[in-house]
Structure 1
Amino acid sequence: MTNPLYWTILVGMAVLMLEQGLPVHSQGDSLADNKVMDNITVRQGETLILRCAQGDIVTHTAWLNRSSILYAGDEKWSVDPRVSLVTLNQEEFTIKIENVEMTDEGQYVCAVQTSSRPTTTVIHVLVQVPPKILDLSRDIVVNEGSNVTLTCQAIGKPEPFISWKRISSSGDLATDDDYLEIPFISRQRAGTYECTAVNDIDTDTQTVDITVNYAPTVSDGRDVGVTPGQRGVLECEADAVPEADFEWYKDDRRISNGLDGIEIVSTGSLSRLTFFNVSDGDYGNYTCVAINKLGSSYTSFLMYVVIEPTSSTLLQGPRAVQDGSGSAMGVHLHTCLFIVAFLPFLMKF
């Protein structure tokens, strides 16, 4: 089977020779002095320089890419505006290709016709491509307990290495794969996940947000003591995604906001029930209920009366306690002496 490169060179040389009226080699003829140079590696977007040494007495010269002639002498055959002539003299024939693309990779041939015989120089161009993430999962919202699969696929040359990690204080590594599997996801695994594609050229990084919905969990209620006529506040805090709606009840009756000097303010995870002037009817048991589309939770409070001490109770209270305790101690002492005195008499019986 005929080498395709041989035909490429042969066609290119034939074109040059026909233009100049020179005899064309037959298919059986060999093209002498073929030289294979080392590979040239260039990054995508850079400029590729292709040099060919002339030497001897050169009559015709050309640069070819696969089956296309780029330049024949100083005449440009390529329609690609990125290709241009740099140097053409007796010693050197150099062209350049700007903003190299992946399609520019392959074999390039410098064909030179001297006064004696043709020579060729073959260069293989390798194009390196930085990684680029093309297929990435979108931000998702799931319910707690669902199975989650994230996808991250990238192109590049060399082939990029893919890794996932969850962005957190610990930066814990998730997996080294195109796919990240999270079975029975919990609320603790919610957050931002980062996909990284890396090769020898560069790195590409993109993120995916996972929101995990779960039913409310309400913190234990804290009982509050309030003096009549003073301001009283009950606070209810709920952990939930999406954020919970709050309802307040006194016994079995739902409390309406703004009724009888009562205000309910709910912001985010916290709800406050405020009494601006507590009266006797306000004391009792209260219930806070937190609700979202996945469920509900509640907690109870007791608002009880607190009597502020007056100046008279402050003066009399300690003395009364002291007197009361002294009397009790005296009675206790007399009782003990009575038992000790009659104990020998009782033992005779």
Structure 2
Amino acid sequence: MIVKQRLIFILYSLCASVFKALRDNRIELLRASWQELTIRIRDVSLSDEGQYTCSLFTMPVKTTKAFLTVLGVPERPEITGFTKPATEGDIITLTCTTSGSKPAANIRWFRNDKEVQGTKEVNATGKSFTVRSSLQFQVDKRDNGAAYTCSVEHVSLASPYMTTEVLEVHYAPHLEITHSLIIPQEGQYFKLECVSIGNPIPEPVLWSKDGGDLPDIERMIVEGRELTIMTLNKTDNGTYRCEASNHLGTSSAEYILFVYAKDFPGPTTDPNALGPHGPDHALIGGVVAVVVFITLCLIIVLGRYLARHKGTYLTHEAKGAEDAPDADTAIINAEGNHVHAEEKKEYFI
């Protein structure tokens, strides 16, 4: 028994003396027998990668080798290059960086849930790699609140590492006016709301009528973005305007109010509301084009008709011009000659 233990110790000592790495305190002998020699390495690092040799000193010596490949786990990515907030129209560059990977990690970009393409750069640092991916674009108001995500994928990871940057973009305001009634009639309760978008939110909202202050502050109540007219009457007819601004600009919107008589059936749509582009110019243009086309067709047909009859008149006149005292006689003679010409026959013997 003592001899066997001594032999195992000699085997381990001989194997351990082959490489300096095996004298590391992180390496321990798990099992040693005549058939098996097992070691374990704790806290594996990239420096542990390489070829390991185990020799059994018999006569002759038996040797086996194995190459240990160590994967470098990438660090969690970091996004740089964005300073909040951006202004609409700015060109920004987002850079995602991860280091320590082996082999080099793969980086993907996502805008919300849609993948976008960036430019990739890989640099070797010792036995590991540092990977960078950049994304450059011009921001607009649609990017406000958009989430840009950098995803790092690697064979050593069960699931990708992800880092997200939510953009904040400042942009000029835009206003629209909505209303509570389709057909405003006398005596009704009526509300206008100034709907605004912009970042920062445009404040305050200023209301006016026909270019001046609101005339009846008792019936017209302004609360924030809303203008309420308690009981409509004909004096409320006019153009109502709301205006708001932020540090990037000012915007306004208008609504033309026409109050109908009480119980007036009215049209099915709001006659006061003008579309954002005014009347339908495409429809009007189409109608005009059809009218012009029909007119041209009629002119062409009439011209061809007159030209055909004028030619007939001249031909008949020419045929009967001989021995005719006037044009009418010439036409009559031409028609007569035409009839007789059909009756003429020639016979050849």
- Tell whether the structures are fold-level matches, with TM greater than 0.5: yes
Residue in 2 that maps onto 1:249: 208
Write the distance in 1 (CA, Å) between the matches of 2:83 and 2:165.
5
- In structure 2, which of residues 155, 174, 181 is the aligned counterpart of residue 217 of structure 1? 174
1:179 Cα offset (Å): 0.6
| Secondary structure of 1:307's aligned partner | coil
1:201 aligns with 2:156: yes
- In structure 2, which of residues 79, 83, 102 is the aligned counterpart of residue 157 of structure 1? 102
Write the distance in 2 (CA, Å) between the matches of 1:64 and 1:195.
47
1:303 aligns with 2:257: yes
Kept after mapping to 2: 8 A contact 1:161/1:198: yes
Counterparts in 2 of 1:236-275, with a 5 A limit?
236-245=194-203, 246-253=205-212, 260-266=218-224, 271-275=225-229
Deviations 1:73-99 (A, max 9, x none): xxxxx433xx43210122222111245
- In structure 2, which of residues 225, 234, 246 is the aligned counterpart of residue 292 of structure 1? 246
1:248 Cα offset (Å): 1.7
1:159 Cα offset (Å): 0.3
Residue in 2 that maps onto 1:145: 89
- In structure 1, which of residues 61, 71, 88 is the aligned counterpart of residue 14 of structure 2? 61
Q: 1:307 to 1:65 in 2, by over 3 A?
A: farther
Counterparts in 2 of 1:1-349, with a 5 A limit?
58=11, 60-63=13-16, 67-70=20-23, 78-80=24-26, 83-110=27-54, 114=57, 122-137=65-80, 140-155=84-99, 156-168=101-113, 171-177=114-120, 178-182=133-137, 184-190=138-144, 191-202=146-157, 203-219=160-176, 226-245=184-203, 246-253=205-212, 260-266=218-224, 271-278=225-232, 282-309=236-263
Write the distance in 2 (CA, Å) between the matches of 1:283 and 1:64.
102
* Identical counterparts, % of pairs: 24
| Secondary structure of 1:308's aligned partner | coil
Write the distance in 1 (CA, Å) between the matches of 2:228 and 2:184.
12
Write the distance in 1 (CA, Å) between the matches of 2:184 and 2:18.
91
Using the size of structure 1 for normalisation, the TM-score is: 0.56
Query: Structure 2 counterpart of 1:201, which letter?
Result: S
Q: Which has the larger share of helix? A: 2
Write the distance in 1 (CA, Å) between the matches of 2:29 and 2:189.
88
Kept after mapping to 2: 8 A contact 1:166/1:174: no
1:287 Cα offset (Å): 1.0
Write the distance in 1 (CA, Å) between the matches of 2:38 and 2:104.
31
Q: 1:175 to 1:226 in 2, by over 3 A?
A: same
Write the distance in 2 (CA, Å) between the matches of 1:173 and 1:247.
42
Kept after mapping to 2: 8 A contact 1:142/1:212: yes
Residue in 1 that maps onto 2:346: none
The unaligned stretches of length 5 or more in structure 1 are 1-19, 21-53, 71-77, 311-349
Write the distance in 1 (CA, Å) between the matches of 2:40 and 2:54.
13
Write the distance in 1 (CA, Å) between the matches of 2:51 and 2:230.
86
Write the distance in 2 (CA, Å) between the matches of 1:309 and 1:279.
13
Q: Which has the larger share of strand? A: 1
1:109 Cα offset (Å): 4.5
RMSD after superposition = 3.8
Deviations 1:103-136 (A, max 9, x none): 4334445466x37687765543211134433331
Write the distance in 1 (CA, Å) between the matches of 2:221 and 2:25.
78
Kept after mapping to 2: 8 A contact 1:142/1:213: yes
1:166 Cα offset (Å): 1.7
Kept after mapping to 2: 8 A contact 1:63/1:109: no
Residue in 2 that maps onto 1:13: none
Write the distance in 2 (CA, Å) between the matches of 1:232 and 1:187.
32
Write the distance in 2 (CA, Å) between the matches of 1:254 and 1:106.
85
1:60 Cα offset (Å): 4.1
Q: 1:64 to 1:97 in 2, by over 3 A?
A: farther
| Secondary structure of 2:14's aligned partner | strand
1:288 Cα offset (Å): 0.6
Write the distance in 1 (CA, Å) between the matches of 2:19 and 2:246.
66
| Secondary structure of 1:305's aligned partner | coil
Write the distance in 1 (CA, Å) between the matches of 2:11 and 2:171.
80
Q: 1:273 to 1:299 in 2, by over 3 A?
A: same
